[in-house]
Structure 1
């Protein structure tokens, strides 16, 4: 109840009760139930596991739903430790969206006791690429959103989940999903044109985390990295030596690192091989609204341009 509106209504009621013609109780109850006064219908709330999923859901929801992220901008997603406020936020949600493929390692424990809140896994229908090494070898690489082509599958899964949650707004969700999908299809072609400028013999992407497997497969890159997925051990001497050997053997001219991890090991690799350091790429998190990648489309476009610049092709 909106306290200001309620106080005004009750004040008017008391005034009229003191007059010769009192307001009947049924009339006050009718007034309290009018749309736009006290009991205006609240929008449903969707909670997404992290910022990229939340942004995609907002594009489909438009103004029809409230969408919030559990993991804040700039935070590392794999080993995130949910706070009591996060748990309360999820318990009050009407729907929880998460990536799946083992990305949110904390999610199953986090979701315990929330069986009454429906969930949707947004990677449903995506062909997984397996991790080839590290403590999670054999499991899916979870970073499937890193290509617009897979982004289209995320959008469709979100659309279905929102229509199921809120069928009265189905037309809104269908329309927004269609427009969003068309933008991602255009972005896919744009990224293909950007990467086509990099000569085939140079097209190896060297990064800290092996988070670009879906991108490298989609746009015909080879992939090298320090570690396969963010885990307990990152930037070990063995990982550093192996990547140095790869860069020297393949004559890889540039390296990159991701925004949510320490780039110290990669800068050591870069210095010892004579390669250029191409800067920061974004994978697991958006920035805040005033940052360089405030939304998913901007993240994909920004990464493509950073990679292009890294290969000295401005």
Structure 2
């Protein structure tokens, strides 16, 4: 009896140990992404194996973001950090330093061909306390590379590689999910081209609050005119606004959009002065909360495209 009890106890101990190690193995990888669009991409690739937190959440503006002590702790406890790069996160170096983060970082734009910002764009991303981003690209590179679905495929490749390096046991799963997601992004790219195809090139003109759509414009043959530079943090001069008013009138622009992260007053002024009715909002740097019409990257691109095409056709 004693021997059997001893054996049962040993079995229970072994079972407990294996359950404990299984629970430990099942603990998701802690990933911090700098903003909501990146966080969605990481979730698409990582599935249940990752627990993703976005520093700049849905509907929030990364250009004027100021990290809180709680967010610095989040970064300090992360096992992987995913950032856009190209000077987008001007606050990043300081945050990593204050958080004491020593882990791996994925630069999602690694391998993307960067676009120059349009001449005259204020491309310095402010920190909100008077400091400027001293990233080498910050003065003249447009960081909004995710606005092309082809570039999004590069982001996914970098995310897959980063997750594989941080969690080798999950690599086959990450690669399989990455391939499925890439196929979805290829379809998205083809669908966007197909929606624009019937619209004459001369009609493809859109005014937006800030210059966030350069990559979209290059990829899909749309001309974007922005009231601000590539940071929402810069106020346009009266002269710049007057030039835009003239441009809207002479070019007969029909599509005038406010972004979900921007102050609408400037666009309302343009609408008043030109008689062009604002066509609603676009999603540039942030997703909506879950259940909104742009709560994933793919949904954001589809919603933006449908709204722009309807506006330039005059059917919105």
TM-score (norm 2): 0.87
Root-mean-square deviation over aligned CA pairs = 2.3
Taking the aligned partners of 2:289 and 2:223, their CA distance within structure 1 comes to 31
State the SS of the aligned residue for 1:276. Answer: coil
> 2:227 matched to which residue of 1?
226
Per the alignment, residue 40 of structure 1 pairs with 24
In structure 2, which of residues 105, 111, 116 is the aligned counterpart of residue 125 of structure 1? 111
Among candidates 91, 110, 118, match of residue 106 of structure 1:
91
Could you tell me whether the CA contact under 8 Å between 1:120 and 1:161 is conserved in 2? yes
Q: Would you say the 8 A contact 1:240–1:266 is kept in 2?
A: no
TM-superposed deviation, 1:115: 4.3
Once the two structures are superposed, residues 289-314 of structure 1 have per-residue CA deviations (whole angstroms, 9 ceiling, x without a partner) of 12121100000000000101212246
1:276 aligns with 2:277: yes
**Does the 8 A contact of 1:148 with 1:187 survive in 2?**
yes
Indicate whether 1:199 and 2:190 are aligned: no
Deviates more, 1:178-187 or 1:241-250: 241-250
> Counterpart of 1:49 in 2: which secondary structure?
strand
Q: 1:114 to 1:192 in 2, by over 3 A?
A: same
Q: Aligned partners of 2:268 and 2:251: how far apart in 1?
A: 18
5+ residue gaps in structure 1? 1-20
Per the TM alignment, residue 37 of structure 1 is displaced from its structure 2 partner at its CA by 8.4
C-alpha distance in 1 between matches for 2:255 and 2:205:
9
Q: Is contact 2:206–2:254 with CA below 8 Å preserved after alignment?
A: no
1:84 aligned residue: 69
- Once the two structures are superposed, residues 22-66 of structure 1 have per-residue CA deviations (whole angstroms, 9 ceiling, x without a partner) of 899866754542326895332211110011001001111111221
* Count of matched residue pairs: 296
Larger radius of gyration: 1
Contiguous gaps of at least 5 residues in structure 2: 125-138
* Alpha-carbon shift at residue 143 of structure 1 (Å): 0.5
TM-score normalised over the length of structure 1: 0.87
Q: Distance in 2 between matches of 1:185 and 1:193?
A: 12
Alignment of 1:267-306 (within 5 A): 267-306=268-307
For 2:49, the equivalent position in structure 1 comes to 64
Any idea what SS the aligned residue of 1:184 has?
Answer: helix
Mapped partners of 1:31, 1:184: distance in 2 = 44
Show structure 1 runs of 4+ deviating over 4 A.
21-29, 36-39
- After superposition, what is the alpha-carbon deviation per residue over 1:158-184, rounded to whole angstroms, capped at 9, x for unaligned? 111111111111111111111101111
Say if 1:32 and 1:38, in contact at 8 Å, map to a contact too: no
